[in-house]
């Protein structure tokens, strides 16, 4: 079986920035085990597979370790492939996922994802998180991930977590954040239990971060940056119970795999 593949740098204006995702368009679904093996072989934070069903595209995401319920950068990458290389000519793409319907449209050079805003609540996991980071944060919240708020941007930049301890936590990952002099806020994201020590740019994390920063900054639109080695800028706008997450993407490679 020959499968077409595209490796896309999402949340990037040029290659080697943002977060790479492999996109594999399918005519019909493969066995779950085979998709997991492909994702493991790709060894990227996410491999996205989609199948067209009438006017909707069913979309699934796999890390090298397991399938996940939500992924922003691989959704952006999938939309980029459809718009740029597969001739999609409608205004908006409707992806059916484990997290409901996620829609993406183009706005000039930006790809705009419409995701549900995730509510956050205070966390009681302070001891393990403080031990993992070797410092006491300003606050810790829970949602899909742990949201750990630090006092300043330098704390986020200099964080060197104990990944073995983070792996023991029950949620998907840990997102650290702080106010910024240049951006509204900065962030980093760690998900070692899914085989990703640090994710370059985590679109889905912003569905939670906006809940916190809306309450702190008193605004609904944000310009943020994820401070990984590759880095990536993200624009977010809360609209009711949804958030629009916008950025650019570029193709790194196009090829085929044989399985």
Catalytic choice (40, 41, 46, 92): 46
Q: Which two tokens stand for residue 253?
A: 């490679």
pLDDT above 90: residue 57: yes
Backbone conformation region of residue 244, classed left if phi is above 0, alpha if psi is from -120 to 50, else beta: beta
Asked whether the predicted pLDDT for residue 126 surpasses 90, the reply is no
Average pLDDT, integer, range 231-239: 94
Element (H, E) at 215: helix 206-217
Could you give the CA distance from residue 158 to residue 142 in angstroms, rounded to a whole number? 22
pLDDT of 59 strictly over 90 = yes
Whole-number percent of the chain with pLDDT over 90: 94
pLDDT of residue 125: 79
pLDDT at 10: 95
- CA dist 208 and 120 (Å) reads 7
Q: What is the pLDDT of residue 73?
A: 93
Question: Span 108-130, mean pLDDT?
Answer: 92
Choose among 163, 160, 159: nearest CA to 150.
Answer: 159
Q: Which helix (H) or strand (E) holds 132?
A: helix 126-133
What does the alpha-carbon distance between residue 33 and residue 211 come to, in Å, rounded to a whole number? 36
Task: Assess whether 46 carries a catalytic annotation.
Answer: yes
The pLDDT assigned to 177 comes to: 98
pLDDT for the residue numbered 124: 84
Q: Positive or negative, the Cα torsion across 256, 246, 55, 60?
A: positive
pLDDT at 194: 86
Mean pLDDT to the nearest integer, 228-237: 93
Residue 220: partners with Cβ closer than 8 Å, 6 or more residues away: 214, 237, 238, 239
Tens digit of each residue's pLDDT (9 = 90 or more) over 158-216: 999 999 999 999 999 999 999 999 999 999 999 998 888 999 999 999 999 999 999 99
């Amino acid at each position: 079986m020959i499968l077409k593949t595209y490796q896309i740098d999402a949340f990037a204006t040029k290659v080697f920035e943002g977060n790479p995702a492999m996109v594999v368009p399918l005519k019909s679904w493969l066995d779950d085990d085979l998709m997991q093996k492909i994702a493991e072989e790709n060894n990227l934070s996410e491999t996205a597979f989609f199948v067209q069903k009438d006017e909707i595209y069913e979309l699934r995401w796999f890390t090298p370790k397991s399938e996940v319920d939500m992924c922003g950068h691989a959704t952006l990458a999938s939309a980029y492939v459809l718009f740029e290389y597969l001739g999609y000519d409608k205004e908006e793409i409707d992806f059916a996922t484990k997290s409901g319907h996620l829609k993406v449209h183009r706005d000039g050079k930006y790809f705009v994802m419409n995701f549900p805003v995730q509510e956050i609540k205070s966390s009681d996991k302070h001891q393990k998180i403080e031990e993992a980071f070797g410092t006491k944060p300003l606050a810790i919240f829970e949602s899909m991930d742990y949201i750990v708020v630090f006092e300043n941007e330098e704390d986020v930049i200099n964080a060197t977590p104990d990944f073995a301890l983070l792996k023991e936590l029950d949620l998907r990952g840990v997102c650290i954040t702080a106010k910024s002099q240049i951006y509204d806020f900065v962030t980093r994201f760690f998900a070692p239990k899914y085989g990703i020590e640090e994710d370059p740019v985590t679109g889905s994390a912003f569905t939670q971060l906006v809940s916190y920063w809306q309450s702190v900054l008193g605004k609904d639109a944000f310009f943020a940056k994820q401070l990984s080695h590759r880095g990536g800028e993200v624009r977010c706008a809360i609209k009711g119970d949804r958030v629009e997450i916008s950025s650019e993407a570029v193709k790194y490679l196009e090829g085929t795999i044989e399985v």
